[in-house]
Amino acid sequence: MAYVAVILVGSLSLYAAVLTIRKNGLGATWRSYKNLVWYDFFLSVPLVALTFAVIIGLYELADVFKIGWWMLLGGRGNALFAMHDDVSLFGNGLILLVLAVAVMLSMPPTIIREEEAFRKGAQNWSWKQRLWKAFGFGMIHMIMGVPLAAGIGLMVPGLAYTLVYLWEYRRRERDTPESLEDIRETRAEHYAVMRSTKFHLAYNTIVLSILLVCAVVLVTG
């Protein structure tokens, strides 16, 4: 069963990468990473540390936070990196590298869709609605097999992306020239989504790098 789950998740990741390349080309993906700025990474580092601290704290707090479909199959971490005692085939570092590259290729368009789903329009929401959206953002990541602790912990970056979105929205709304007044909100939303997308991509790049290193250490140690 673990093999089936790993093959399914891996195949979906590769398929998403192929679709991304066919639709946008490698050039568009490269530009997405190239356009990241240093302060996105700088601000992401403490956010990653805080998120991991919350996840680890919840994970150690009670067994209920360890629940996830990959854990129920005997796995560790998440299904993408196939950390499972019975899945020796996927302990191969080369396969882990291929999967990591596939994820990195498919991340830019995936993140844009996430930002549009969980951040766009946040300027019109109450803080209760923003918290609920952040919760949903964390929970949707459990599709990858991460435990409940990770799903809840991912509310932290989810809220951070919302703050980035709101900051950029207010800035763009304030700076909209009078000639564009009739499309002020649409214009501000567009730039806000792009800004939170960049921050999200920088954060995910750091996390993916960390998880890849940890997975390689676990399977080779």
Q: How many CA atoms lie within 13 A of 81 on its CB side?
A: 20
Q: SS3 for the chain, per residue?
A: CHHHHHHHHHHHHHHHHHHHHHHHHHHHHHHHHHCCCHHHHHHHHHHHHHHHHHHHHHHHHCHHHHCCHHHHCCEECCHHHCEECCCHHHHCHHHHHHHHHHHHHHHHHHHHHHHHHHCCCHHHCCHHHHHHHHHHHHHHHHHHCCCHHHHHHCHHHHHHHHHHHHHHHHHHHHHCCHHHHHHHHHHHHHHHHHHHHHHHHHHHHHHHHHHHHHHHHHHHC
pLDDT of residue 162: 97
Say whether pLDDT at 183 is over 90. Answer: no
Contact 182, 42 (CB under 8 A): no
Q: Which residue has the tokens 């951040």?
A: 119
In this model, does residue 212 exceed pLDDT 60? yes
Higher-confidence residue of 9 and 199: namely 199
Q: What is the mean pLDDT of residues 197-206?
A: 95
pLDDT in tens, 62-107: 888 888 866 666 655 555 555 545 444 444 555 666 677 777 888 8
122 residue type, one letter: A
What pTM value is reported for the model? Answer: 0.83
Q: Where are the domains of the chain?
A: 2-220
Structure confidence by residue, pLDDT tens digits, 91-148: 455 566 667 777 788 888 889 989 999 999 999 999 999 999 999 999 998 887 788 9
User: Quick check: 181 pLDDT over 90?
Assistant: no
As a whole number of angstroms, the distance between CA 92 and CA 49 comes to: 28
Chain-centroid distance of CA 190 in Å reads 20
**Digit-coded pLDDT (tens) for 22-60:** 666 666 777 888 899 999 999 999 999 999 999 999 989
